[in-house]
Amino acid sequence: MSENSEPKDVVLSDPGDFWPGFQADAATNEAQTAIRLRETMEADVFAVTTLAGFTGERLRSQRMLQDFSQGVDVPPAIDHTIVLHLGGATDVHRQYLGEQATPVGGIGTTTIVAAHRACRWMASGEVEVLHFYMDDAVLREIATAETGHDAADLTIIDRHSIDDPFIRGIAPAIMEQMAAGDPPSQLLLDSFDRVIAAHLLSHYSNHSYRMQSALAQQAQRGERVKVVRARAYLDERLEANVALQEVADHVGMSPFHFQRVFKAETGLTPHQHVLQARLRRAREMLQGTQSIADIAFACGFASQQHMTTVFGKHLGVTPGKYRRKFRV
């Protein structure tokens, strides 16, 4: 360890943010917090699980407790590794060949270790970590498939002692699966696989802009699907007085965001869409023999007069004249 390298101790302001249910008073020091965090986690610290995706995508995750007091040499690997520091010693350092040791300690912090680089890890004692491993070749395949660009020049950027809320947030779910003992569902494995690969590519690679753009486009496509669902929901309930909050809840969006997205996708507000749909249904029903008053209520108009007013404004005729014209 270099003489000029000072440990970088970083602790979450609220350890409960990292592990739900954990509470510590302000006087708790970092060493005690490390022990209590470790004691709080019920899973075996040596639990190992493998997460496998489809179409060749692969992610592995390992939670372990390791003694770094004598130093641990890690050979070059084909995997990119995300390291989340769970507990134990905080004076952790990583050293690449020919470079100065870098402090990477700090409970709750994340370190990114790029593939194909040998390094040495050092600390004053045991360190508990959660590792995510993503094969370099697989990650390139994912990057190419997601962005539509050749990822031959893909580079993962080393980072150390960073606060990554996403990694901290997904860790308890993965460790819960490790502790459960039963094989997790394929849907869950695929979800872990995809979101962690996307996170690595969009935040710690030289293709981050491409990946973020691809994710934004996917989100936009997802919003389009929600608009389609919302239109179907509204069309099925034309006779009802559906509130904006109701349809927004149905597609999982806030009313404000839903109305903005709906207008952007359709060119109409939800209210305008419903009005046009009611007019279309009324015109179809007027081809039959049902009374105009019954048609008005069946299409969601407040009254026959209300339908007459809307017909006059948008079609220039009354429902009665429209029916007579159609029959002619």
Q: Are the C-beta atoms of 144 and 99 separated by less than 8 Å?
A: no
CA nearest to 49, candidates 66, 37, 63, 28: 63
Under the banding of pLDDT at 50, 70 and 90, the label for residue 275 is: confident
Which residue's entry shows tokens 């929600």?
226
How high is the pLDDT of residue 182? 56
Q: State yes or no: pLDDT of 196 exceeds 90.
A: no
Higher pLDDT, 195 or 228: 228
CATH of the domain at 219: 1.10.10
Is residue 1 within 8 Å of 101, Cβ to Cβ?
yes
Query: Phi/psi of residue 34, each to 5°?
Result: -60, -45
pLDDT average, residue stretch 276-282: 92
- Tell whether 43 and 180 lie within a shared domain: yes
CA-based Rg of the chain, rounded to a whole angstrom? Answer: 29
What's the CATH number where 295 sits? 1.10.10.60
Q: Residue 285: inside a domain, yes or no? A: yes
pLDDT reading at 235 higher than 60: yes
pLDDT at 180: 63
d(CA 89, CA 72): 14
153 and 228, same domain (yes or no): no
Is 57 a residue whose pLDDT tops 60?
no
Q: What is the pLDDT of residue 111?
A: 92
**305: CB partners within 8 A, 6+ apart:** none
- Decide if 45 is inside a domain: yes
Contacts of 55 (CB under 8 A, 6+ apart): none
CATH number of domain containing 90: 2.60.120.10
Model confidence over 133-152: pLDDT tens digits?
Answer: 888 888 888 888 878 788 88
Q: pLDDT grade, residue 17 (50/70/90)?
A: very low
Domain-terminating residue out of 230, 252, 267 = 267
Residue 6 lies in a domain: no
Say whether both 287 and 150 belong to one domain.
no
The reply to whether 87 falls in a domain is yes
- Is residue 7 scored above 60 in pLDDT? no
Tokens 């019954």 — which residue?
294
Task: Indicate whether 7 belongs to any domain.
Answer: no
Do residues 234 and 102 share a domain? no
Q: Are residues 34 and 20 in the same domain?
A: yes
Cα 173-179-182 angle, rounded to 5 deg: 95
Per the structure, the count of domains in the chain is: 3
Residue 146 placed within a domain:
yes
Global pTM reads 0.53
Confidence at residue 132, expressed as pLDDT on a 0 to 100 scale: 86
Tokens of 124: 């004053």
Q: In this predicted model, which residue has the larger pLDDT, 63 or 321?
A: 321
Arithmetic mean of pLDDT, 172-178: 76
Give φ, ψ of 221 to 5 degrees. -65, -35
User: How would residue 6 be classed by pLDDT, with cut points 50, 70 and 90?
Assistant: very low
What is the mean pLDDT of the segment spanning 71-87? 85
Residue finishing a domain among 206, 241, 256: 206
Structural domain for 315, as ranges: 272-327
Per-residue pLDDT, averaged over 249-272, amounts to 83
